[in-house]
């Protein structure tokens, strides 16, 4: 059963007057609308949804990141909240899918957005409320580069610790030389030069 | 608890190449004598960034990749992905295709759960016999899959709006024979397992956590039901046509390793009940929606999250479409990976030998954990 989002929205407005919320409509046929939550009040909103006896969203099933590098695309697809201009230069987004196991309701979709994609990529961690976010937030940190403040153990999880970039970002450039070739091919050598101009001479 | 002497602790790296880690999974375990003081899983040895690959190719091209997530159960992975795309694009599925999907998914559950029992006994030291019996039955089901999809494991069978091809002649009759013979194997397997004194001594009161902690940790599937939480997506959010079948959800009481084993054995019987009903009711008709688009398929702008009860737990796909032929965002909610969240909590204070059992009872496949 899909949750009654307008009712939850009004409820949250009443219970947490300080929270900045927006209702985002899903243009597609799935009908899964979402709630945009300002990062500053994300933990409070989650705590309320978890603790409230009649809402009882006890299962945070899925947490994932989305990279929105292009403001034009964001306007068309991600639908910024009414009244707020689309973030110039894009942003990173974390999406949460909540369910209630006792009331059999879900998914309630929450979204939180970072300010930009370079420096201000901090989103508060919800591990204290939902333990299931622990590894998933680590995965988002690893692959998207979102920094979760308050996470107990924020390390890379799928890539190795020495890895520098965030491969799920849209502008990630995959290395061309990841495949070993005993006798490098001309085109591969050309490509490798773009990445390693200094070492390609040898 | 007395203060731990750092010098007396032993650091053991269990895996990545270890016969009981079910693949390339590593656990950094800190031991005080035999007792686990800390356990940190290390992931990523099988990481290929499946999600990134999928965002660079068309929707349908990802279908064969989903086979390789949980490679014991490719058909349920196919179904989860097809369902998410159908939700995203608003595609209808014909009745016959829904029946074929249920039949293949429940046959997959038979494979997974019986192989689980085999692997689990292997983890306990009974290497071989139980697993070989399970694989003998698995082989018969894989023969059916080969007749249907052309491949034993990497089936690439579901399509958006139905299935790739119809059941071959006589397939349903062969499947009925298998379903009727399967209970005999189950009796045999249960005899081998349930009354065994060593098994009971090794598994009871091992690895149990309270219900609330499990739900909070995102644990789904047989692991959660073993602790007594009646949460099966086939019942709570009946996808496909699961609301047409009569079946029960077996529940455990304590959630220890013994309950987790028994839940799988009981679920096998319920899967057989679903299979019997589905094979009896199987209607004639189209196996794929006549207007389903294979080439140049572009779902409308929007997003969708869809989930199914895979044999390992809640398998979900989250897709965002920007209106082009490739998904803008493609995310898998892997049950194996998220079920590992509470691994350390389950193992603390137990012996190293129990860690192997607890990991076995979670039932992971590394293709899905690392993606």
A103 CB near a chain B CB, below 8 Å? no
Average pLDDT of the segment spanning A37-66: 90
Residue ranges of the alpha helices (H) in chain B? 50-55, 63-67, 74-89, 95-124, 129-149, 171-193, 197-203, 211-216, 222-226, 233-236, 257-281, 335-339, 343-347, 352-362, 366-370
* CATH match for B6-370 among 1.10.3720.10, 3.30.2000.10, 3.30.70.20, 1.10.645.10: 1.10.645.10
**pLDDT tier at A195, thresholds 50, 70, 90:** low
Chain B residue numbers with beta carbons less than 8 Å from the beta carbon of A27 are: 300-302
Chain B residue numbers with beta carbons less than 8 Å from the beta carbon of A168 are: 49, 51-52
| Chain A residue with minimum CA distance to B238 | A1
**For the packed helices B95-124 and B352-362, what is the interaxial angle rounded to 10 degrees?**
170
Q: How many Å lie between the alpha carbon of B312 and the closest alpha carbon of chain A? A: 14
The total of structural domains in chain A comes to 1
Residues B281, B45: contact at Cβ < 8 Å? Answer: no
| Domain around A89 | 5-171
Residue A184 lies in a domain: no
A107 CB near a chain B CB, below 8 Å? yes
Q: How many Å lie between the alpha carbon of A63 and the closest alpha carbon of chain B? A: 8
Spatial CA neighbour of B27 closest among B44, B47, B13, B17: B13
Whole-angstrom distance, CA of residue A122 vs CA of residue A116: 9
What pLDDT does residue B15 have? 76
pLDDT at A83 over 60: no
B324 CB near a chain A CB, below 8 Å? no
pLDDT at A181 over 70: no
Average pLDDT of the segment spanning A99-104: 89
Maximum Cα interatomic distance, chain B, rounded to a whole number of Å? 71
Distance, CA of A69 to chain centre: 13
Could you read off the pLDDT of A132-147 as tens digits, one per residue? 999 999 999 999 989 9
Residue A198 lies in a domain: no
Residue among B90, B229, B371 whose CB faces A29 most closely: B90
Chain A residue numbers with beta carbons less than 8 Å from the beta carbon of B214 are: none
Whole-angstrom distance, CA of residue B142 vs CA of residue B119: 18
Residue A180 lies in a domain: no
What pLDDT does residue B290 have? 83
**pLDDT tier at A12, thresholds 50, 70, 90:** confident
Q: Do A28 and B338 touch (CB under 8 A)?
A: no
Q: Do B341 and A73 touch (CB under 8 A)?
A: no
CA torsion, ordered B125, B128, B133, B134, to nearest 10 deg: 70
CATH code, domain carrying A48: 3.30.460.80
Higher pLDDT, B265 or A21: B265
Higher pLDDT, B167 or A27: B167
Chain A interface, best mutation among B46, B55, B218, by max A CB count within 10 A: B218
Whole-angstrom distance, CA of residue B278 vs CA of residue B247: 12
Whole-angstrom distance, CA of residue B229 vs CA of residue B227: 6
> What does the block give as tokens for B222?
């047989």
Chain B interface, best mutation among A27, A59, A72, A108, by max B CB count within 10 A: A59
Provide the ipTM: 0.87
What pLDDT does residue A201 have? 46
Whole-angstrom distance, CA of residue A58 vs CA of residue B205: 26
Low-confidence ranges of chain B (pLDDT < 70): 1-4, 19-21
**pLDDT tier at A85, thresholds 50, 70, 90:** very low
Residue A143 lies in a domain: yes
């Amino acid at each position: 059963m899909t949750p009654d989002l307008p009712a939850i929205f009004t409820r949250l407005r009443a219970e947490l007057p300080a929270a900045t919320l927006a209702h985002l409509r899903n243009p597609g046929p799935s009908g899964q609308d979402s709630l945009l939550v300002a990062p500053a009040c994300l933990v409070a909103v989650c705590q309320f949804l978890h603790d409230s006896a009649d809402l009882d969203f006890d299962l945070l099933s899925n947490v994932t990141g989305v990279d929105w590098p292009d403001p034009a695309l964001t306007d068309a697809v991600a639908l910024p909240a009414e009244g707020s201009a689309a973030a110039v230069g894009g942003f990173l987004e974390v999406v949460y899918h909540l369910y209630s196991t006792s009331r059999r309701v879900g998914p309630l979709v929450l979204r939180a957005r970072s300010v930009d994609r370079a420096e201000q990529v901090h989103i508060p961690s919800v591990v204290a409320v939902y333990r299931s976010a622990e590894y998933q937030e680590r995965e988002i940190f690893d692959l998207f580069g979102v920094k979760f403040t308050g996470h107990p153990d924020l390390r890379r999880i799928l890539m190795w610790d020495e890895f520098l970039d965030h491969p799920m970002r849209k502008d990630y450039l995959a290395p061309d030389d990841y495949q070993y070739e005993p006798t490098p091919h001309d085109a591969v050598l050309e490509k490798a030069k773009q990445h390693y101009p200094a070492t390609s001479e040898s | 608890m007395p203060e731990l002497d750092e010098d007396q602790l032993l650091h053991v790296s269990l895996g990545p190449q270890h016969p009981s880690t079910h693949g390339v999974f590593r656990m950094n375990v800190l031991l005080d004598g035999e007792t686990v003081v800390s356990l940190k899983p290390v992931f990523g040895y099988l990481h290929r960034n499946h999600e990134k690959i999928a965002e660079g190719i068309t929707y349908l091209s990802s279908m064969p990749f989903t086979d390789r997530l949980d490679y014991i159960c490719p058909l349920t992975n196919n179904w989860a992905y097809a369902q998410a795309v159908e939700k995203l694009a608003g595609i209808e599925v014909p009745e016959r295709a829904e029946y074929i999907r249920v039949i293949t998914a429940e046959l997959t559950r038979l494979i997974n759960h019986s192989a689980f029992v085999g692997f689990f006994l292997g983890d306990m030291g009974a290497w071989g016999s139980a697993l070989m019996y399970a694989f003998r039955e698995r082989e018969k089901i894989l023969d059916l899959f080969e007749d249907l999809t052309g491949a034993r494991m990497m089936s690439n069978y579901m399509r958006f709006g139905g299935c790739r091809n119809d059941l071959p002649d006589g397939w349903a009759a062969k499947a009925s024979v298998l379903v009727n013979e399967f209970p005999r194997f189950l009796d045999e397997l249960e005899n081998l397992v349930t009354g065994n004194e060593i098994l009971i001594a090794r598994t009871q009161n091992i690895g149990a956590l309270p219900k609330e902690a499990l739900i909070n940790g995102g644990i789904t599937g047989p692991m959660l039901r073993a602790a007594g939480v009646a949460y099966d997506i086939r019942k709570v959010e009946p996808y496909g046509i699961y609301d047409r079948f009569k079946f029960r959800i077996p529940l455990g009481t304590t959630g220890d390793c013994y309950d987790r084993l028994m839940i799988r054995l009981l679920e096998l019987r319920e899967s057989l009940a679903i299979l019997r009903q589905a094979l009896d009711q199987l209607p004639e008709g189209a196996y794929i929606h006549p207007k389903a688009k294979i080439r140049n398929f572009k779902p409308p702008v929007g997003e969708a999250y869809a989930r199914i009860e895979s044999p390992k737990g809640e398998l979900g796909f989250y897709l965002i479409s920007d209106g082009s032929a490739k998904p803008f965002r493609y995310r898998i909610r892997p049950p194996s990976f998220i079920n590992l969240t509470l691994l350390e909590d389950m193992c603390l204070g137990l012996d190293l030998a129990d860690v192997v059992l607890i990991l076995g009872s979670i039932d992971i496949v590394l293709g899905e954990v690392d993606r």
